[in-house]
Amino acid sequence: MQAPLTSESGKGPYEATWTCMNCGQDAHENFCARCGEKRHDDHDFSLKHVLAEAAEAFFHVDSKIFLTLKTLVAKPGKLTSDFFLGRRKPYMSPLQTFFVCNLLFFILQPLTGLEILAPPLRVFEANDFMGKTATRLVDRRLTKEHLSRTNPEQFKEFTERFERVAHLQAKSLILVLAPMLAVVLATLNFGRRRYFSEHIIFSLHAYAWWLLWLLANLLFLALVVVLPLLAGRHINLTYFDDAATSLEFGGFGVYLFFAGRRFYQDKIIPAVTKAVVLTFCAYQLFIVYRLMLFFTVLYST
């Protein structure tokens, strides 16, 4: 039986010895010294107490998200630096940060009507680099499923299925970009005696920022597309796509410059050089990502 909450000696309510119900250790304070279990009393079961604890947990997590995203956007490289300096409690973990940004992107991106991480099938087939190969492979897949491109209903059904699966797989496949960029970072910083995990964490924060940057770009570009269409004006989508790509990776290059300066302690000229190389490599990795997405979706549809 649990000891009473008060003692005859007149000591405070939590000074009497009690037995921890979790580990069986005798305890004297409000928390068990062995396992950390809290001593309970009847007040713990009141609705007021339960609601207060729920509110505290919610706002604690909420404040972590807000502070993490604010630091990620306003102070490039600080999250990574603080992580390896041991300042981790105020922020979400690097992987949590990436997944939160990923979630925000895929929740809000459909509102723009534009797509970049999971483009429609026609974008793959119109691509200068892989368009002919993509069309040939799609035709083979259609033949295997006894479907025809010339049958509008059959091809529409296949296209919608392809794009639905692409949108689902893109959410997880985008994560592979981080280790690939980390390899580039490890190469550029060879000889500086840094662990590969440092480059991985830097890459996770970089791509978390990039997802937010992409989202901001899509929201802006959606207005650029919609407003002229409402006014009855025609838009050249080729130039539009080029402009969008320049914004997406140009901004990424700026982030990589400032983040590299803070985390890798690079001087200005090396930081600029690395940012240019990383931006070029990030664009090439994005092309590789799209190739991977096309093949994984095509053969799992």
Q: 101 vs 123, which has greater pLDDT? A: 101
Phi, psi of 23 (to 5 degrees): -120, -5
- Mean pLDDT throughout 250-272? 95
- Please give the pLDDT value at position 130: 85
Q: Report, as an integer, the average pLDDT of 168-184.
A: 94
Residues 283-294 as b/e (b if ≥16 CB within 10 A, e otherwise) read eebbeebbbebb
Residue 95 has pLDDT above 90, yes or no: yes
Q: Which residues contact 232 (CB under 8 A, 6 or more apart)?
A: none
pLDDT at 240: 62
Burial track 49-70 (b if 16+ CB lie within 10 A, e otherwise): eeeeeeeeeeeeeeebeeebbe
For the chain, what is the largest distance between any 2 Cα atoms, rounded to a whole number of angstroms? 92
Question: What pLDDT score was predicted for residue 1?
Answer: 43
**Tokens encoding 239:** 């130039």
pLDDT tens digit string along 264-283? 999 999 999 999 999 999 99
The CA distance from 46 to 300, in Å, is 52
pLDDT in tens, 103-156: 999 999 888 877 889 888 988 988 878 889 999 999 999 999 999 999 999 999
CA 72 to CA 209: how far, in whole Å?
Answer: 7
DSSP annotation string for 44-112: GGSHHHHHHHHHHHHHHHHHHHHHHHHHHHHSTTHHHHHHHHT--TTS--HHHHHHHHHHHHHHHHHHH
Instruction: Check whether 260 has a pLDDT greater than 60.
Output: yes
pLDDT of 12 reads: 47
Average pLDDT, the chain: 83
Any idea which residue has 């992409």 for tokens? 214
- pLDDT tens-digit map of 191-239: 888 999 999 999 999 999 999 999 999 888 878 776 666 566 665 555 5
| Res. 161: pLDDT tops 60 | yes
Q: In the prediction, which pLDDT does 63 show?
A: 75
- In this model, does residue 57 exceed pLDDT 60? no
For residues 184 and 6, the model is more confident at 184
Q: Provide the percentage of residues in the chain whose pLDDT is more than 70.
A: 79
Average pLDDT over residues 162-177: 93
Residue 10, SS3? coil
Supply the pLDDT for residue 230: 59
State the pairing for strand pair 18-19/26-27: antiparallel
pLDDT recorded at residue 110: 86
Q: Which is higher by pLDDT, 56 or 230?
A: 230
Tell the residue number behind the tokens 């723009």, with chain if given. Answer: 112
Task: Annotate 32-43 with DSSP letters as a single string.
Answer: -TTT-PBP--GG
Least confident of 21-30, 60-69, 93-102: 21-30
Predicted pLDDT at 246: 86
The per-residue pLDDT for 14 is 46
pLDDT score at 7: 39
What share of the chain has pLDDT > 90, as a percent?
Answer: 55
Residue 45 has pLDDT above 70, yes or no: no
pLDDT at 184 over 90: yes
Residue pair 279/118 in contact by the 8 Å Cβ criterion: no
pLDDT per residue as tens digits for the range 4-36:
444 344 444 445 777 776 777 777 777 777 776
Q: Which helix (H) or strand (E) holds 18?
A: strand 18-19
Question: What local confidence, expressed as pLDDT, does residue 10 receive?
Answer: 42
